Amino acid sequence: SQQGEEDPQALSIQEGENATMNCSYKTSINNLQWYRQNSGRGLVHLILIRSNEREKHSGRLRVTLDTSKKSSSLLITASRAADTASYFCAFVGQTGANNLFFGTGTRLTVIP
């Protein structure tokens, strides 16, 4: 299976704390992306990191990628109640086609 694994499955934190979620995958990748999904809604693209990049920032988001360990992490700093959602890593194989394989997801709850 090309599905990624994420941990933790669920994470509950207080508003203002940082949240870290991890993704591991098995194949060689072209890039890795992170998406957010609010309950009952579609997915929203957050950030893309290429296989030759090690770290990327976007606002309160920080993503790292370690291709030797086939793993990535997403850090959300100074969390807000509105960050409550499921977060999925997604990656594309090296075929060049844009068929995404998603990780199992982390359910984040930020308590006000």
Residues that bind other proteins (CB under 8 A): 3, 30-31, 33, 35, 40-45, 48, 50, 88, 92-93, 95-105
Nearest approach, Cβ of residue 13 and other proteins (Å): 20
Contact between 103 and 33 under an 8 Å Cβ cutoff? The reply is no
The residue (of 19 and 29) whose beta carbon lies closer to other proteins is 29
Backbone angles phi, psi at 51, to 5 degrees: -65, -20
Nearest approach, Cβ of residue 34 and other proteins (Å): 10
- Of 31, 22, 8, 17, the closest CA to residue 73 belongs to 22
